Structures are given as structure tokens and as C-alpha cells.
Structure 1
Amino acid sequence: MLGTILWSLRQTLKLRAHRSQLPPGPTSTKTGLARPWVYFREVSARHGDVALVPGLSSGGPTVVLGSARAAWDLLERRGAAYSSRPRFVVGGELLSGGLRGLMASYGPFWRRWRRTLHSGFMQRKSTSYRPIQRLESAVLARDLLVDPHGFRAHLERYAASVIVLVTYGRRVTDVASDEVRQKDIRMYMGLLNDIKDKVARGVATPCFTTHLLEEQEALGMTDLELAYTAGSPFGAGIETTSGTLASFFLACVEFGHNFIPRAQEELDRVVGRDRLPTFEDMDDLKYIRAIASETLRWRPVAVLGGTPHASTADDVYNGMFIPKGSTIIAPLWTSKSPPTSYYRLDFPEPHEFKPERFLEERDFPGTLGHAAFGWGRRVCPGMHLATASVNLNIARILWAFNVTPAKDEKGQNIEVDIFAFTDGFNSSPLPFPCSIKPRSAHHAEVVEREARQALTELASYEGKEEKS
């Protein structure tokens, strides 16, 4: 307690000493905000690309970055000083004993955690999971065909099953009752011990956790550390993939008449009518990839730019003093009107859905053209896996289905609200209606055929035949 008081006093004195150099910002802050990203958008619009907001964090000042350039310069180029985390007392300490790598401070444990995840999900390694994504994607298409009204549940099941298959070598057939919804030591250790038992009996399916066990001694991680590391992809992977695909359906309902015809022309030309698109088609499906990128830009799930960063050294940026211990937030929300400066996701008409943005040269730091997966050394380690899922499923959905507005009892289109999203750390669309119908009877037959074959192949992960 005394140490905390002394640290806070030193911070106060430092801020006073550098008062004239501090970033601009409001003199007070709003509290209890349901959607803080909207407030941060207003702060950036009024005070510029780097703004200091008082009173948001008990540990130190909060700095809001309102442009891609500022986020790139600080979180990427100066990543060594901006890759820690603010203190998470409940989630990071009380509930996990400091073993949640997502919330861990920059240090030896976090570096081990990051290196471990990188080894399992880096771009080259992530391609080895494509057979799983291909098979589960075929099942998702069948689910959308059979029960289009339950599309949100089908998206969640797909995302959960891919993550659990990749991590533990087992399928998820019902997301509502699977232990993926639980996040506690009993679940993580139970799953780890199950894999250890299968390894001992020589019947384990190769997966991320078997890889971790093989490397455990070299990694220097305890069983509990290993269990939490294996469980890390759950929340992020499920929410990123299912939430992004839900936003894609919302874009189809509101803007589909502008982009779906061009997408289906490309799919028919490249893929034909007798099979679902595959990863091998992606190089030739440039417009489909542009749709996926625009979806990630238009409505990023990690709307606050991911978990906040924290600075570990005093720094000066464009003449502004950023003290050590600052909480750094790089929100991804955009303004409705043309910005006075180049906000990170602001293109002309930022809330319009225009895949053509990604067919043109863009003045945007990095190679993706968006920041949906965060910045710097804290960038989402599962970004390659998630991107592959988004690309493939968008291609297959548009190949197989016409996604249009739902109709009311009078046959009129039911309007949707493209700003109706959940509150919280991650944000995804609130429930909305849409119509999902096969493009033809032939397209439906192809979906059914490929789903039956996929379920036959997926049965090997359960050791028994699946029912189609």
C-alpha cells in the first residue's frame, strides 16, 4: 500500500513538472460510459491524434491515440517501451494468479507466453490448420442451409470448433453446452490432463497442446502456465471470427446490393458451379479478399484496439511528454463525418461498406490496410488463423447463398441498424434479421454433398462416425 502511494505521488509530481509538455485533452472525463469508444472518438476529434484523458486509470494517465500514424509510431516503432499492460487486479491477478498472458505485464512470463503462441499460430504454422477450417466451413454452410434463422449460433459453433480442434484435437457440435464457455483453472487443467493421458496412451491427435507438451521443458513452463497458454485462443478466436462474420451478414443486408453481384460474378468465374471455394482459390479471388478486409475495417470486434497497452519508460512524441506508466488506448471506432485529421480507420464515408477501398493504394501504416488485430508486440497472435476463416467463409457464403434483407408480413424489407452493437470490451452486432437462401437447387446440393464428406472426415477427431 505504501509503495502504491509513493508511486502515485511521484507520478503526480512528474506530471506537474512536465505540465506544459503533456498532450492536450479534456480537463475531466466522463465515467460509467457504456460505449467508451464513442467518447474516445470525440476526444480525438477535439484534441488531436494524441490526447491525455484524466481520471480513467488509477495507475497513471490515459493517452488516447486517434490516428494510424500515432499508433504505428508508438506501438510499432517504439514497441519496446509500449508493450506492457496496465494492472488488471481482478482478471489478471485475483482470477488467474497472473497467468493470463493477454493481461500480463511485459516481462519474462509474457515473453514465454508470446513465443509459445507464436510458435503455434504464426503464418506458416497456421496454414497447417486449413484442413480443419475447410471441413468445419463446409459444415457451417450446411447449417446455414438447414437452419438459416439460427445463423448466429452456427457462426459461434464454427469458430468454437475450429479453436478447440486446433488446440485440443476435438470438435464442438453444440456451442451452448461446451466447456469452451467456462474459463477457470478446472477447465484448463482438465483439458490439459486429458491430452497428457492420450499422449501417454499413444492416441493423441496432433494439436497445439501436444506441441506445447513436447516443448514444455524447453519453454520452462509449469503445467498451470501451459494450461492457461493453451486456453488463450478461446475467447479471442471465437469472438473475433464469429463477430466478424456476423458483421459481414449485417453488411450484406444493408449494402449487399452494391457488392454481392460483383462478388458472385468473380466466384462463378474462378470457382464454377460444382464445388465450394477453397483456400487454393484465394489468390484469384481478389474481390472476396477485399470484402473480408473491408469487413474487418468496417466493424472491428476489438473496438478499443484490443487490450490497452502501458508504457514502461518516459517518452516524448512530437514534442508531447508521455510519462512512464501511462495507459495507452488506440480505439478503432470512426467518426460519421469526414475527419479533421486522418483517423485510423477513417476513409471517405467510413461507415459505408466499400470493398473497393482494398483494391486501391492506401496511405495506411503496415500491410493489412486496417488495425483489427491491434498493434505492435501485442498484436493478436491468432490473426492469420482468423483471417483465413473470414476469407474462406465469406467466399463460401456468397458462393452458395443470396443474403438479403428479411421481409415483414407486408413483403417490405425490414430495416437494420448498422450502429446497433453490443457494449463491452469486444463489440459485435446486436441480433438482427436477414434472409439466407441458396442461390439455386444445384448450389444447395453441392453444399449438402460437401458437408457429408466433411462430417465423415471430421469423425476421426471424435473416434466415431458423425451423424449427418
Structure 2
Amino acid sequence: MFPSVDGRLANLAILLASFIVITSLKRFITNRQKKLPPGPVPLPLLGNVLSLDTKAAWLTYTEWAAAYGDLFFVRLLGQEVVVINSQHVAEALLDKRSRIYSDRPYIATLEPFGWSVVFFRPMQIKQAREMIANLIGDPQNYHSHFATFSASVAMSVTYGYQTSPHHDPLVRIVENALAIGLEVVTPEKAILLKTFPFLLKLPDWCWGSSIKCDARTSSDRMREMTDVPFQYAQDHMFSMVAENLQRIEKQDQTSRSFFEGALKKAATTAIIGSSGFVMTFALAMVLYPDVQRRAQAEIDSVVGLDRLPTFEDRTSLPYVESVLRETLRWQPVLPLGVPHVTTGDDTYDGYFIPKGTTVMCNVWGITRDEKRYLGASRFTPERFLDVNGALTDDDPAGYIFGFGRRACPGRYAADASLWSAIVTMLATVEFSSAKDDQGKVIEFTPQFTTGITRSFIALAPLWSSLAISHHALVPIRNL
């Protein structure tokens, strides 16, 4: 007689549990003489996973930081994790000791979900102005316009592809791919799949097989997001991708396959945009109209009403710059950054950090430090200005875009795109809450996505009373 399916699964679970026990005991014996950072007491086998809000882990980590400090230690199943909760500690480890902390951990959800693939100023200004035209013509679909803007610059440079103003097919492909993937590539969920890899082998009819179905769907969407724009570049042969394809044309077949694969990954990473930041800005302008009015007044005094702002005006608009900084800080899109892993043992401040430890920087905790940011939950751009109205040295971009050798390579391009979007919208439209047929404000409670990213979910139109001036194609806000 052959064992039943349930029996095989039970045996597999026992073997995996035994492996976790043996691994945990081995690590305990190895580290018992060494002082690990403080942290919550872990349960046998499970560690601290049951105490963690896996949908918003940054909230749990911020609570634990209040009890255990800026550097604490947790166990998630069989994985050791160090969480950093201050910019000072993050710079001391991830920047100054980048030789040890620059590697990335194995994220078990990347491959099955298809995520193993991942200076344009005139174009950025152009795309920002096209976004404004779309907002004027169709304000209710602002989320789609933001997504189009975020993807348009990268797609133009990377693939030579010009996005259409409405319902662009490639933008839709990107949105569909991100919808599933961003929820599952968190370290917490990846550790679950790393510990129980058999979840990807369950038959479709079996309980618990949903993760395999989601992985299949996500892989198909990511493959489409990788291949369709790449094929466009090959067909048209003018873009960053096309130029590199021409360079590798003379390589042998093996080399060509390798370089084409690397080029696809680089290009795919570039088009995963930053619409979450733009959504955060729009929400802030609705909730804090005084900020909007002050920023608009600054633009009026510097730029005037006969033209739109350009990058040459940036240094003369310190309050707009402070609005950008507060947008990055107030609701960080990557609240836990992107995890690192140690490639060797290390000691910091008397605490032992073992090789192979996942290291996460709790960006959310940094932004909610009341000693640094009084009234941290409020949108207050003035916190980045001194008494003379000049910008301070505190720039959240220093921790929002990561640390060390693995900091975001597109930081400066993303910063420029976000600034162009913010300053153009402030100069042309006015954000306000939507109203019902009786003219009463429609109340709403902001809701945010969860996963590796966190961004505001569009629930209702957020502005009204948009006007077009005598410039015809250039909308100017109604003063």
C-alpha cells in the first residue's frame, strides 16, 4: 500500500519541523556565549512570528523599538533578523561596514512569483505637464494618471516607448504585475515559504494551495512586463535597451543570452515607478490645505503666472522643497526598506550579529521618532526649514532610498521626477475634498496598501473646481 497524500504531507511536515529544531539548537549552541542584541522572547520553533503583524510589520517593529532600542533581535521561524530603528545605527552598519552588510537575503517568494527580474530632466518636466492635462480632462481617474507619469519617464528612456495619455497598455501591464507581487516579497512572508517550500507543490484542490496559484499568476504577469516592452525596443531599435542590444549583437549565443537576460532585469527594475509618492502628496494637499496655499504663494512670487516652473527654479523654492521632503517622510512608501543580509559575523556596540542574519531598517520607525520629528504623524513641511526659511541639513532622502552600496541607484532620477510632479501640480491645480450633490464635503478615511510597499488607496475623487486659463493647453489653478 502506498501512503495517502495526507500521510505524505504529514511526514514532510515532521521532517521540516525536525530540521528547524536541529538548526535552531545548532545556532543556540554556537551563539550561547555571545551577547545578541535585545529583543522579544521567542517561542520554540516559531520564534516571534506570532507576535508580528505581517501585513504591517513596521508597526510592530516600532513598538518593539520603544522597549528594546534602536537595534534589536527577533527570530521569525528559523531566520534570525536584526531590525535597525535609527538613521545613526543604519549608517554605522550599512554604510560604514558595507563590506559585510551589502548582500541581499534569499527571498523565497522572488523566483516563484517572477520577481527575480527587477538624467532625464526635460523629459520629466514634459511628462509632468502631460499628467496635468490628463488630470484636467479626467480628474476622477487621478490614480491612473499618477501611475502613467511614474512609468512614462523610465519607459521612454529604457525602451524608447511613449506612453499614451489614457489607458496605456504597457502601463496597465505594469500595474497588473505589481498588484500581486508587492504584497508577497516581504521578508516575513518569504521566510514562511523558505521554511515550508512544499506549499508550492500542493495540488490546486488542496487547502493552502492559494500561494501556488498566486505565484503562477504573478510569474505570468511579471514575464509579460519584462518581455512585451523588451520586444517593443527590439522592433523599433531606439532606446537604452536597443543601444545595448546592438553592442552585444556580435557576442556568441551564450554571451548574448546572458547579457539579454541581465538587460531585461535592469530595464524591468527601472519601470517599477513611484506613483505611491505622488498619491501621498495628493492626499497631504487635501488634508492640509494651508500647506498647499503657502507652496502656491511661493511659486507665484518666484515664477509668476505667465509660465510654469522648471528645474532652474528649484533652488529658489525652499518651501516646495520642504513639501517634497515631508512627502517622503510622512508616509514612506517602503516602510522597511529593502532587507540586507550579513556575509560575516560582526559586533556592534557590544552585541553579536551572526553571519546570515537578515538586517532590516525600520524606515517607518525613523520617520515616527518624536524626538526628531515632533508631531510626527502630521504633515508639517516647516520642520525642514530654519528660522530664516532656509532648508536644514535633514533630508529624508538620506534614509528613504536606502543605505550603503545597495542604496537605490535611481535615487536622483526619482527625486527629480517627484519634484517635477509636485511643483507642476502646485502651479496648475488646486486639491480639495470631493463634494456631494448638496455641496457637502465627502468625508473619507485614508486607507493604505500593505506588503513591501505602502501607499494610499484611491477611494474617491480628491479635488474639484479645476480651471483652465487663457493659456489654452496649460491649466492654471483658480486663485
TM-score for both structures, normalised by structure 1:
0.76
Shift of 1:177: 3.4
2:27 paired with 1:11? yes
Summarize the Cα distance change of 1:380–1:336 in structure 2 as closer, same or farther, 3 Å threshold: closer
Match of 1:294 in 2: 326
Query: Per-residue displacement from partner, 1:332-366 (whole Å, max 9, x unpaired)?
Result: 22499864xx5xxx5111111111222237575xx
2:402 paired with 1:382? no
Is the contact made by 2:101 and 2:341 (CA closer than 8 Å) also made in structure 1?
yes
Shift of 1:283: 1.9
2:226 paired with 1:210? no
Shift of 1:85: 1.5
Summarize the Cα distance change of 1:408–1:131 in structure 2 as closer, same or farther, 3 Å threshold: same
Summarize the Cα distance change of 1:214–1:298 in structure 2 as closer, same or farther, 3 Å threshold: farther
Summarize the Cα distance change of 1:175–1:77 in structure 2 as closer, same or farther, 3 Å threshold: farther
Distance 1:337 1:72 in 2: 18
Distance 2:227 2:26 in 1: 41
Query: Per-residue displacement from partner, 1:17-64 (whole Å, max 9, x unpaired)?
Result: 31xx1100001322562211111111111110001012x253x31111
Is the contact made by 1:274 and 1:446 (CA closer than 8 Å) also made in structure 2?
no
2:93 paired with 1:66? no
Residue type at the aligned position of 1:149: Q
Query: Which residue of 454, 468, 474 maps to 1:427?
Result: 454
Identity across matched positions, percent: 32
Match of 1:347 in 2: 373
**Greater gyration radius:** 2
Residue type at the aligned position of 2:29: L
Secondary structure in structure 1 of the residue aligned to 2:145: helix
2:267 paired with 1:251? no
Listed as ranges, the gaps of 5+ residues in structure 2 are 1-14, 43-47, 178-220
Residue type at the aligned position of 2:159: Y
Shift of 1:379: 1.3
Query: Which residue of 153, 162, 166 maps to 2:153?
Result: 162
Summarize the Cα distance change of 1:375–1:444 in structure 2 as closer, same or farther, 3 Å threshold: farther
Match of 1:312 in 2: 343
Query: Per-residue displacement from partner, 1:384-439 (whole Å, max 9, x unpaired)?
Result: 11111111111111111111222344434334435x21111101012244543466
Match of 1:371 in 2: 399
Query: Per-residue displacement from partner, 1:199-218 (whole Å, max 9, x unpaired)?
Result: xxxxx33x33134335557x
Match of 2:124 in 1: 133
Distance 1:157 1:177 in 2: 10
Is the contact made by 1:247 and 1:429 (CA closer than 8 Å) also made in structure 2?
yes
Query: Which residue of 40, 49, 60 maps to 2:61?
Result: 40
Match of 2:433 in 1: 405
2:110 paired with 1:82? no
2:263 paired with 1:230? no
Distance 2:123 2:369 in 1: 42
Which deviates further from its counterpart, 371-380 or 147-156? 371-380
Is the contact made by 1:145 and 1:437 (CA closer than 8 Å) also made in structure 2?
no
Residue type at the aligned position of 2:269: S
Distance 1:190 1:435 in 2: 33
Distance 2:100 2:469 in 1: 57
Match of 2:190 in 1: none
TM-score for both structures, normalised by structure 2:
0.75
Is the contact made by 2:233 and 2:242 (CA closer than 8 Å) also made in structure 1?
yes
Q: RMSD across aligned C-alpha pairs, in angstroms?
A: 3.0
Q: How many residues align?
A: 396
Is the contact made by 1:400 and 1:438 (CA closer than 8 Å) also made in structure 2?
no
Summarize the Cα distance change of 1:440–1:234 in structure 2 as closer, same or farther, 3 Å threshold: closer
Query: Which residue of 226, 238, 261 maps to 1:188?
Result: 226
Shift of 1:195: 2.6
Is the contact made by 2:468 and 2:475 (CA closer than 8 Å) also made in structure 1?
no
Distance 1:387 1:290 in 2: 13
Distance 1:333 1:408 in 2: 35
Distance 2:279 2:401 in 1: 17
Is the contact made by 2:53 and 2:59 (CA closer than 8 Å) also made in structure 1?
no
Secondary structure in structure 2 of the residue aligned to 1:161: helix
Secondary structure in structure 1 of the residue aligned to 2:399: coil
Is the contact made by 1:421 and 1:427 (CA closer than 8 Å) also made in structure 2?
yes
Is the contact made by 1:400 and 1:444 (CA closer than 8 Å) also made in structure 2?
no
Is the contact made by 1:168 and 1:209 (CA closer than 8 Å) also made in structure 2?
yes
Secondary structure in structure 2 of the residue aligned to 1:423: coil
2:394 paired with 1:357? no
Residue type at the aligned position of 1:284: S
Is the contact made by 1:298 and 1:351 (CA closer than 8 Å) also made in structure 2?
yes
Shift of 1:189: 4.0
Listed as ranges, the gaps of 5+ residues in structure 1 are 103-125, 199-203, 450-468
